[in-house]
Amino acid sequence: MPTSLRLFLAGLLFAFMTMPAQAQSPEQTLATIHNYLTISDDLSTSGQIAYDQIEAIKEAGFDVVINLAPANDNANALEGYLVVEQGMTYVQIPVNWQEPSPRDLQMFFDVMEMNTDRKVYVHCFANMRVSAFVYLYRTLKQGISEEDALTDLHAIWDPMQQQQWATFINNAKDLHTNAD
């Protein structure tokens, strides 16, 4: 192969490798987030979001970001600032994985109720805390059928396999039943 052709091909390869990647739509970006799940037109959930995904969340029309994960220097230390910088509301309710509490669930219910007219994005580290909280919100507060809510919950995991989460869910259902 002549040297000039090799240089041309090398230059072409270099140009191709350094071209900016085609921009993804906000929906394509959201689909890359760990355990992303659309619950309804106004509610989506996922695992931990990366800082560079926050703009896509805003562009997808979300108004509120709720984080149920505890603070973590490596995963979410700047998240609140970056969400607010995008013009969205940010709420963090740090739910302890080993001891999810009725108080945290009530706070989550309150935040959801205050934002029924807004598009809400809820996440934690793996969408496990969130899927359990959203399942309870949908069944206990919105009246969504158990079957429909379980389908979305089980798309992420089965909390009945973790003793603390099975107890938490059953206690929340009992408290709600007794409150009626």
pLDDT digit string, tens, across residues 169-179: 999 999 888 87
User: In which band, very low, low, confident or very high, does the pLDDT at 12 lie, cut at 50, 70 and 90?
Assistant: very low
* Domain assignment of residue 9, yes or no: no
Instruction: Write down the pTM of the prediction.
Output: 0.86
Say how many domains are in the chain. Answer: 1
* Domain assignment of residue 82, yes or no: yes
Q: Measuring CA to CA, which residue among 111, 179, 167 is closest to residue 140?
A: 179
Indicate if the pLDDT at residue 48 is higher than 70: yes
* Domain assignment of residue 90, yes or no: yes
CATH of the domain at 105: 3.90.190.10
The encoded tokens of residue 95 equal 């739910």
Please give the residue range of the domain that contains residue 78.
Answer: 23-179
Of 23 and 131, more confident:
131
Indicate if the pLDDT at residue 16 is higher than 60: no
Q: Who contacts 80 (Cβ-Cβ below 8 Å, separation ≥6)? A: 67, 90, 92
* Domain assignment of residue 18, yes or no: no
Q: State residue 177's pLDDT score.
A: 83
